[in-house]
Amino acid sequence: MVVRTSRTAAFASYGVSLVNPNWSLSGRSDARRAVAVSLWQDELRGRGGRLFYERTSWEGWHDGPGRREFFENLKWALDNTLGIVRVVASTRKGDVRIESFPLPNLVMRVAHLDATAGAFRLEQVIPEAIAA
């Protein structure tokens, strides 16, 4: 069951706070060594029983502090959590966020990151693989 909540509360469910609730697309907790990212629910894709999320360029991204922070947090995840991130899914109408909610059973790993091009790929991992 998906629990609908505020975006701030969705991030807080992972022990993560947002730098700015208006523009942050991700957050991290140094103390809990956790990163959570906001992803469009309709852009999560599946293959072979696992989900992935991929962007290949800056196209469609607003050039602002939230975008820069998002890539900084993905890099921090690679350096500090073996690339593991938690997901806050957001639904939208056009480019307007309608609601956000945590997906507590979805754990993803940063499989590719190119901040210069605005590209990244997150792949679902099964909980047993996190310790590996």
pLDDT value at residue 7: 87
Domain ranges of the chain: 7-130
Give pTM, 2 decimals.
Answer: 0.88
What is the SS3 assignment for the chain? CCCCECHHHHHHCCCCECCCCCCCCEEEECCCCEEEEEEEHHHCEEECCEEEEEECCCCCCCCCHHHHHHHHHHHHHHHHCCCEEEEEEEEEECCEEEEEEEEEEEEEEEEEEECCCCEEEEEEECHHHHCC
Residues 52-67: pLDDT tens digits? 999 999 887 888 899 9
Residue 130 clears pLDDT 80, i.e. is over it: no
Residues 4-53: pLDDT tens digits? 668 899 999 999 999 999 899 999 997 888 999 999 999 999 977 789 99
Residue 79 clears pLDDT 90, i.e. is over it: yes
pLDDT band at 3 (very low <50, low <70, confident <90, very high): low
Residue 89 clears pLDDT 60, i.e. is over it: yes
pLDDT band at 2 (very low <50, low <70, confident <90, very high): low
pLDDT value at residue 61: 80
